[in-house]
Chains A and B, each alone.
Chain A
Amino acid sequence: MSTVARKKSVIWDYLTTVDHKKIAILYLIAGGFFFLVGGLEALFIRIQLAKPNNDFLVGGLYNQVLTMHGTTMIFLAAMPLIFAMMNAVVPIQIGARDVAFPFLNALGFWLFFFGGVFLNCSWFLGGAPDAGWTSYASLSLESPGHGIDFYVLGLQISGFGTLMGGINFLVTIINMRAPGMTYMRMPMFTWASFVTSALILFAFPPLTVGLVFMMMDRLFGGNFFHPAQGGNTIIWEHLFWIFGHPEVYILVLPAFGIFSEIFATFSKKRLFGYSSMVFATVLIGFLGFMVWAHHMFTTGMGPIANAIFAVATMAIAVPTGIKIFNWLFTMWGGNIRFTTPMLYAVAFIPSFVMGGVTGVMNAAAAADYQYHDSYFVVAHFHYVIVGGVVFALLAGVHYWWPKMFGKMLNEALGKTTFWLFLIGFHLTFFIQHFLGLMGMPRRVFTYLPGQGFETGNLISTVGAFFMAAATIILLVNVIITTAKGKKAEADAWGVGRTLEWAVASPPPEYNFAQTPLVRGLDALWIEKMEGKKGLTPAEPLGDIHMPNSSILPFVISLGLFIAAFGFMYHNQHSWGLFVGIGGLLITLGSMFLRSVIDDHGFHIHKEEIMEAEKGVKA
């Protein structure tokens, strides 16, 4: 059964890969691309709002751009970029050779990718969704054209991918840890990924159900949300937010994890209060499911429900506060190095705390009647999502870039990116608090002169261009680094604490020639402090079993992509139903092939590994 992997073309290699490190690169490229698309949409929004009575994007088109900005940033940029980090780092941090289900890992990526492409096809096929990223049923059922159908079917497909990713990382972290890697020795980023994966597992099915109802109502004559036939549009709001609120923790917990790694590494200190960090992460994950209705205070649920959800929401500030203080105490007395990732981490604390404070303000149900649907809310969630998640992703990209690609990003350019982004971010969103308090509603495409909104909006727009400039410099940095960057060592920053810094940059296909023996928290740091060069192996050198690559994940996802087009047009065109069923048959057929064709993988022989490892050591 053991065969040597044949040489393949790069494109075919990436289409068929099941290697978590290559899948991480795929997620990074696809997520990065959608981040640029969503960023352009944000710029368009800000250009339209730069002055009163502007006519750059009017009415319906503005609604489409606004909806796609939110949907793209959450589902197609932030989520996949987090999966990029998780794929690149988690298996190595726990001393594993791959994830538990490499095939499923590839399938998850391709489902996300085709879902995202499908959603964005709407721009060229009659118009994008236009009911906001929350797509409330009372709006979206009335939306003409196919925009909302693209939303429903596209998110359905990419949601399956995310769910698979979640299950995969749960099993990986439970079953694949190296000897000695107990739960309480796992790096904080791994813990965060673990809790996030559990949230994904329980949060995505309600979204799937909500999307199915919406699909039934719009395409197949269902009545879930039609009041005339007994339906109830509030059901959508509940299902959406039962998913939607855990979703923000799905995004922000890995961000906390990334920052925990960075604080410890560049303070040259063990993370302060590690066990309380773990506890806080799990508690946030748990409470995250108890608070969804704080998005619906003005729906009319009554004072008791509002009070319960208000108190539960405020309670989340407690574990989050624990984390903030732990990060501060990690830096306290540390040997701090202000590298680019560390700059983001330090800037994250005040930025995120401001978002947290406005969060508690929004949680006060009575006060929320004033903030609801105003720019105050827009300012709040951009402070937590950009100030938390986007900062973390930018920090993580700079931090782990050498591990993923084997080259150090340029620090001068990195710091330029940071300062432009930080200034731009606060310029854009700080003023929006006040615009909101002054009465500017969100999701409205223009405003009249003389209401005091002019200066604030202009400042906000200028800030957005700062962030755009920062992104361009980051891209320049990537290009320059790829062309002639400095080659990264295994321990690229020189102060690595966790296992990923013990393997070559980029790591070999099998990660560890010998599975390491983990002897405590910050496993690599322990070995370095004892003067050792590498990790203590837990097994003799031997053949390594590897999974086969496969094109089936791509084909399974392509089938659903085709099916979605068919079902969307089945009411207007007779071919719709055939294409829909044909697409499903492609998917089911590929799943059948996956089931009946044995896949035992292959072995990399001991001699080849010794040859490869010699090259690294020299």
Chain B
Amino acid sequence: MAEGYAHPEVLVSTDWVAAHGKDPGVRLVESDEDVLLYNTGHIDGAVKIDWQSDLQDAIVRDYIGREKFEKLCSEKGIANDTTVVFYGDKNNWWACYAFWTFKLFGHEKCLILNGGRKRWELDKRPLVKTPEPKYPATTYKAKGPDLSIRAFRDEVLLHQQKKGPLIDVRSPGEFTGELLHMPDYPQEGALRGGHIPGAKNIPWARAAAEDGTFKPRPELEKLYLQEAGLNPQGPTVIAYCRIGERSSHTWFVLRYLLGLKNVKNYDGSWTEWGNLVSVPIAKGPD
């Protein structure tokens, strides 16, 4: 399944999780779009981390800081040497978001359950409705933030001026500016529609197969190296979407499955760029 990927060791199968999900030193983390989905059934032993209430600061538009991250890990029974296995709904979209946030704070052993909830359910494996398990608190020490994986707006502007590679992972309608938001999706407002000039549009879900797993490497290469023209030995790639969540899925694919060394997620994304005064914007397909 994971053959051919640059870092196959970051993916685990449903078989592996069934056998090792409750091993000491392993913590399963479910992250979903819907904050209550975990409560309707989750993998036995998994804890819940919510992308909004746990990983985002409630006041400042930012991720939580180091101290809050340490507290979160401690409460979830995650130590610095714990192997954290992320999984979730919607092709692991939010699992990748949580994975990226853990990397921001320097957590070393992060894995993704390939296919997430969908593959688990397709394999007819059990989900339990028991309350979230409590594990002994840890004394977690966060590192970072690791800004080698996070881009801010000024850096994105310079990157754009130098014609650095940019991947816009939103839907074609959002990219062209025809829609200000995803079809059928609630959107956070932007005053202008379009994309960052020079960006290539590869909607994030094109990297996922029907069963929620990642597509095989040759198909991913076709998308990102041939269609988007990325050079694995080339300069830093910046991925963005609307608020940096869909692009963390693409960031994962580029960094771990295709092995690009320097990939950043611009979490300000279109809700920042589309509201900034005087920055360049392109409309239409190019």
- A and B bind: no
Chain B residues at the A interface, C-beta cutoff of 8 Å: none
Chain A residues at the B interface, C-beta cutoff of 8 Å: none
